[in-house]
Amino acid sequence: MSSPSTPAAAVTTEAARPPLRARHVFRLYIAGLTPRSTQAVQNLRTFCDAHLAGCYEIEVVDLYQQPQLAQTDQILAIPTLIRKLPLPPRQFLGDLSDSHALLVGLGLGAEPAAQASLP
């Protein structure tokens, strides 16, 4: 009797599996459809598509429609991005145009000082 063989391509090992990526959950506070708010939404979506493809959720909260939520997350300026997950929560202010600052702030890129010390 011969045992059934498995094609080499069908065998996966722990080392061959891609690493699991953490799910990122964001809440972006805006105030109406101002150019700055619209730009922040677009910048966040572009950033997430480029760096977190398939591993993120974005909730956009318009403070004109839901002002009570500003107290919950202690929002003092807009636009403000809150990263809910992964923990710990983080806050980012502005139109989110500085993708390097977002990479560092989210822990997806190296700190500038760490990059300078690399050989």
Which strand (E) or helix (H) includes residue 37? helix 35-51
pLDDT confidence of residue 73: 87
Lowest mean pLDDT among 2-6, 47-51, 61-65, 110-114: 2-6
pLDDT confidence of residue 118: 45
Please, which pLDDT band fits residue 42 given cuts at 50, 70 and 90?
Answer: very high
pLDDT confidence of residue 14: 42
What kind of architecture, by CATH, is found in domain 24-106? 3-Layer(aba) Sandwich (3.40)
pLDDT confidence of residue 105: 87
